[in-house]
Structure 1
């Protein structure tokens, strides 16, 4: 495994997004399967694991903490606050965005307990709560740094302007945003802002929520699969997007790699400061993803794959109106 840098942390060039094991794409896998995936990643050189309070309403942090505790000194641990589950009067939990300083500090205490650790290496504000000045939320995170409960601060799904305001309060070590061939929004402004400020860029959903892994049966999505609400997976848009795959798969074959590896290798070639964090519930898929670190792409192939799949050739927005209202990321006109 090759390595890249986030603040003082030397991390694997490809990390593991742990969300899939507990959240968002249907029923969670068994604890045993989750353990297999986490340990397989660790055994194959992954030393950057990404979780959040939201994922499974704490279940994902609990799983990561239990499985990886014996190896705690050998990997960089990232988690997130500011978006979590809140219990209702009937006992159910609903997702809320809450960036108030007191909520951030309580969420961190809960995360430390679930993760079975004394310190979180990289702690992100999962979403900017637009009712709270970003300076106040980052101020709370900077208090946690001073208290030794977290080591570095990250932001997720923010604009370049919000990043700069946050960075004026405390150095921002990383920005995490969706980035893949079919989601190019970071290229508008925030990726350049990260480079100017010395923040790493962590790319989630780097294989386009599974679209670039191969044909998906959208009719078979679980009732709770978040892709059901995403416009790109609506039947008409999905049918249009499927027409991109034959050409894309041909380029992967030309590069001598799998479709998933091409998507990840493209990101790795976009800059040494970019760390993709694919997620999976399958050890086989995990190992295929990790093979992307050895894929070499020439300028011609990069140009052709970018021309094939980009914001102008993909049908549908990445989020629905509700989800779009919750992020601060720049959008294409």
Structure 2
């Protein structure tokens, strides 16, 4: 497995990471035994970066990872944890909390649920509008000194926040959505990260399955997060599935699946970018890993650029209510 270094001060991780969220939340029921088998398959294939959040299933995801790692060799394994999202018993969201005292509380629970002494990469899930980023990162810097966490990351924040955070303590990576149909970081955020020596861990590389080649209009009644996503609704879905038809055509020329080409495209945008794949089944994981063998030529990249120019997707990547809380979307 090829390795890529996270930032100038971070660890070397596998060229593809595994996003574990769907094993616990947001995409309907998941099979526990299949989830654990998928985690084992990922480790066996050389994946070393596991991404989770303390609010994924209200702790379920962290405990699932702990169960999957029991008895496994954990050398050179990196667990990335997001914190700060507040939820209620109905699984609704109540906002974000990145106060220093809250962060110390969150990390204590994550350490216990994961069964580890230190967390490799720790990051606020979103910017808390009521707490200066300097205070949050300062608290995490103290946690690095205490040995509770090793590295500090960020998630879905804009350039100004990135600069302010990095001035307090080195940031190793920014986790943010990046795909053929979500290219917003290219206008400014990616440049800022590269200037500061911060890597990108890209989630949503298949746009929540939209550009995987497995989605169809017949699946639109699925009861999960996608039912609220603008890109999966009405005429937006029609327009976006037409884009996928173009991807299918290019993938046929490449000799790979649409999903593999979409993942390979993200990986090809720079050695400082690590795609996170949200596979929760072994067959989907196997397909995603096949992207490592896809070699996109200049002609393929040009065809993809023509088929997927910035802004090509119909509909926003999140509902308006959520976009309003995303620092990365502020211009």
Please give the range of the TM-score, normalised by the shorter of the 2 chains.
Answer: over 0.9
Shift of 1:223: 6.3
The residue number in structure 1 matching 2:199 is 200
The residue number in structure 2 matching 1:4 is 4
Deviations 1:1-28 (A, max 9, x none): 211111341211001000011111112x
The residue number in structure 2 matching 1:47 is 48
Secondary structure at the aligned position of 1:80 is classed as strand
What is the TM-score with the length of structure 1 in the denominator? 0.94
Deviations 1:198-250 (A, max 9, x none): 11110001111111111424554576511111111112100111111222101
The residue number in structure 2 matching 1:148 is 147
C-alpha distance in 2 between matches for 1:314 and 1:93: 29
What is the TM-score with the length of structure 2 in the denominator? 0.94
RMSD: 1.6
- The alpha-carbon distance between structure 1 residues 60 and 161, as it changes in their structure 2 partners (threshold 3 A), is same
Secondary structure at the aligned position of 1:146 is classed as helix
The residue number in structure 2 matching 1:112 is 111
Confirm or deny that 1:312 pairs with 2:311: yes
Which structure 2 segments of 5+ residues have no match?
none
The residue number in structure 1 matching 2:158 is 159
C-alpha distance in 1 between matches for 2:215 and 2:287: 18
C-alpha distance in 1 between matches for 2:217 and 2:150: 40
The residue number in structure 1 matching 2:21 is 19
Deviations 1:42-81 (A, max 9, x none): 0111011000111111100110112114332231111111
C-alpha distance in 2 between matches for 1:122 and 1:250: 38
Secondary structure at the aligned position of 1:243 is classed as helix
Which structure 1 segments of 5+ residues have no match?
none
- The alpha-carbon distance between structure 1 residues 216 and 178, as it changes in their structure 2 partners (threshold 3 A), is same
Corresponding pairs, count: 327
Deviates more, 1:270-279 or 1:136-145: 136-145
C-alpha distance in 2 between matches for 1:305 and 1:165: 35
Deviations 1:265-306 (A, max 9, x none): 111110000000011221011011011112111112112112
